[in-house]
């Protein structure tokens, strides 16, 4: 299953500048995803990271991987949707994160996430990001699903 940016925005609450998934190339609901983030010099974090050499912050790569994970984890489940404003999907843990080389403007970040465990309240994933076939970052991610209060 592929998704374009409009379909991604229907499924995620994030918007510019925090939406970090541009396209989904492959998705097996509840199992895995391969998505793309096109890295451009227009990203707001590049003005300060770093002025002399633009490098995508590792934390933003991890966030992109977590957003990709949210896209496939609940596909087809009407009662759990990160974009429905009734449910919050939080990144709550990052283990074994490794950053192998810098990601710079012009790179196309390939985001690959596989579910290790998905439940109604907690999800665990193995995630990696690559550029031109070279792994640039990898981590184990943990995300929590929480209902939002009506008054919140």
DSSP summary character for residue 148: P
DSSP string for residues in 45-113:
GGGTS-TTS----HHHHHHHHHHHHHHHHTTT-TT--TTSSSEEEEEEEEEEEEE-S---TT-EEEEEE
Distance CA 83, CA 77 (A): 12
Known catalytic residue: 14? no
Residue of 19, 23, 36, 49 marked catalytic = 49
Closest C-alpha to 84, from 21, 128, 145, 134: 145
Please say whether the beta carbons of 114 and 106 come within 8 A: no
Active-site residues: which are they? 49
């Amino acid at each position: 299953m592929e998704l374009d940016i409009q379909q991604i925005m229907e499924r995620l609450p994030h918007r510019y500048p925090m939406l970090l998934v541009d396209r989904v190339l492959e998705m097996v609901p509840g199992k895995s995803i391969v998505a793309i983030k096109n890295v451009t010099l227009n990203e707001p974090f590049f003005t300060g990271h770093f002025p002399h050499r633009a490098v995508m912050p590792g934390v933003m790569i991890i966030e992109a991987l977590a957003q990709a994970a949210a896209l496939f984890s609940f596909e087809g489940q009407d009662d759990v949707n990160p974009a429905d404003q009734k449910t919050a999907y939080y990144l709550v843990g990052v283990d074994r994160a490794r950053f192998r080389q810098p990601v710079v403007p012009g790179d196309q970040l390939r985001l690959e996430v596989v579910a290790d465990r998905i439940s109604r309240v907690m999800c665990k994933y193995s995630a990696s990001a690559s550029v031109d076939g070279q792994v640039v970052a990898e981590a184990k991610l943990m995300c929590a699903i929480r209902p939002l209060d009506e008054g919140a």
